[in-house]
Structure 1
Amino acid sequence: MTRRTVFRLFGLALLLVAGLIYLTRPERIGPDAIPTHTADLANGERMFWAGGCASCHAAPGAKGDDKLVLAGGVELDTPFGLFRAPNLSPDPEHGIGGWSEADFVTAMTLGTSPQGTHYYPAFPYASYRNMRLEDLIDLKAFLDTLPASTNVVADHDLAFPFSWRGTLGFWKALYLKRVPPPAPQDADETVLRGHYLLTGPGHCAECHTPRDLLGGQDLDHWLAGGPNPDGEGMIPNITPSRSGIGSWSAGDIAYYLESGFTPDFDSVGGSMADVQENWSRVPAADREAIAAYLKTVTPMPAQDQQD
Structure 2
Amino acid sequence: MRQVIAGVVGLALVGTAATAALVMWPVGQEPAKIELAGDVQRGAYLARASGCIACHTNFEDGGAPLAGGAPLETDFGTFYPPNLTTDAQHGIGGWTVEQFAMAVRQGISPEGEPYYPTFTYPFYADFSDQDIADLWAAFQTVAPAAESAPVHEATFPFDQRWGLKLWRAAYLSDPQTEPVEGKSETWNRGRELVRGATHCGACHTGRNLAGARVASAVFAGNDALPGGNKAPSILPEDLAERGWTVANLSYALQSGVTPSGDVFGGSMGEVVQNGTRFLSKDDLRAMATYLLDSNLAPEDEIASIPASGPVLD
* 1:78-117 alignment runs, 5 A limit: 78-117=74-113
2:233 counterpart of 1:237: yes
Tell me what 1:137 maps to.
133
2:299 — aligned with what? none
Residue 284 of structure 2 corresponds to residue 283 of structure 1: no
Partner of 2:301: none
Q: 1:229 deviation in Å?
A: 2.5
In structure 1, C-alpha distance between the alignment counterparts of 2:199 and 2:238, rounded to whole Å: 23
- Write out per-residue CA displacement over residues 85-111 of structure 1, whole angstroms, 9 at most, x where no aligned residue: 111111111111111111111111111
Please state whether the residue corresponding to 2:186 is helix, strand or coil: helix
Shift of residue 13, structure 1, vs aligned partner:
4.0
Q: Quote the offset at 1:267 in angstroms.
A: 0.7
Q: CA deviation at 1:263?
A: 1.3
Is the Cα–Cα contact under 8 Å of residues 237 and 245 in structure 1 kept in the other structure?
Answer: no
Cα displacement (A) at 1:75: 0.4
Whether contact under 8 Å (1:80, 1:159) holds in the other structure is: yes
Shift of 1:60: 2.6
Mapping of residues 1-307 of structure 1, within 5 Å: 2=3, 8-23=10-25, 25-30=26-31, 33-61=32-60, 69-180=65-176, 184-242=180-238, 247-277=243-273, 278-296=275-293
Secondary structure of 2:285's counterpart equals helix
- Superposition deviation, residue 182 in structure 1: 6.6
By how many angstroms is 1:180 displaced? 4.3
* Residues 261-282 of structure 1, C-alpha deviations (whole Å, 9 max, x = no match): 1111111111111211221112
- For the 8 Å contact 1:108–1:128, the answer to whether it is kept is yes
State the Cα distance separating 1:52 from its structure 2 match. 1.2
Distance 1:138 1:196 in 2: 17
Task: Tell me how far apart the structure 1 counterparts of residues 35 and 210 of structure 2 sit (CA, whole Å).
Answer: 38
**Distance in structure 1 (CA, Å) of the matches to 2:15 and 2:256:** 55
Aligned-residue Cα RMSD (Å) equals: 2.4
Structure-2 change in CA distance of 1:13 and 1:183 (3 Å): same
Any unmatched runs of 5+ in structure 1?
298-307
Amino acid at match of 1:290: M
1:302 alignment partner in structure 2: none
User: 1:264, 1:128 → 2: CA distance?
Assistant: 33
Q: Which amino acid aligns with 1:41?
A: V
Residues 60 and 73 in structure 1, CA contact (< 8 A), matched pair in contact too: no
The alignment partner of 2:278 has SS state of: coil
> Aligned in 2, Cα 1:96/1:225: closer, same or farther, shift over 3 Å?
same
Deviation of 1:233 after TM superposition, in Å, equals 3.7
Closer/same/farther in 2, CA of residues 135 and 178 from structure 1, 3 Å limit = closer
Select the structure that is richer in helix: 2
- The CA deviation at 1:192 is 1.0
TM-score (norm 2): 0.85
Question: Using a 3 Å threshold, how does the CA distance of structure 1 residues 244 and 91 change in structure 2: closer, same or farther?
Answer: farther
Q: Relative to 1, partners in 2 of residues 1:155 and 1:262: Cα closer, same or farther, differing over 3 Å?
A: same
- 2: CA distance, partners of 1:199 / 1:245: 22
Relative to structure 1, is the Cα distance of residues 245 and 259 closer, same or farther in structure 2, using a 3 angstrom cutoff? farther
| Partner AA of 2:158 in structure 1 | F
Mean Cα displacement is larger for which, 142-151 or 4-13?
A: 4-13
Compared with structure 1, are the counterparts of its residues 73 and 4 closer, same or farther at alpha carbon in structure 2 (3 Å cutoff)? closer
Maintained 8 Å contact 1:34/1:133: no
- Residues in 2 aligned to 1:122 and 1:158: alpha-carbon distance in whole angstroms: 12
Q: Percent identity?
A: 33
- Please list the CA deviations of residues 155-192 of structure 1 after superposition, one character each: whole Å capped at 9, or x if unmatched: 01111101110111111111123444876542111111
Q: How far did residue 40 of structure 1 move?
A: 1.2
SS at match of 1:86: coil
The CA distance in 2 between the partners of 1:19 and 1:54, in whole Å, is 37
2-side partners of 1:16 and 1:57: how far apart?
36
Change (3 A) 1:261 1:6: closer
Aligned to 1:301: none
**1:188-212 CA distance string (max 9 Å, x none):** 1111111111111111111111111
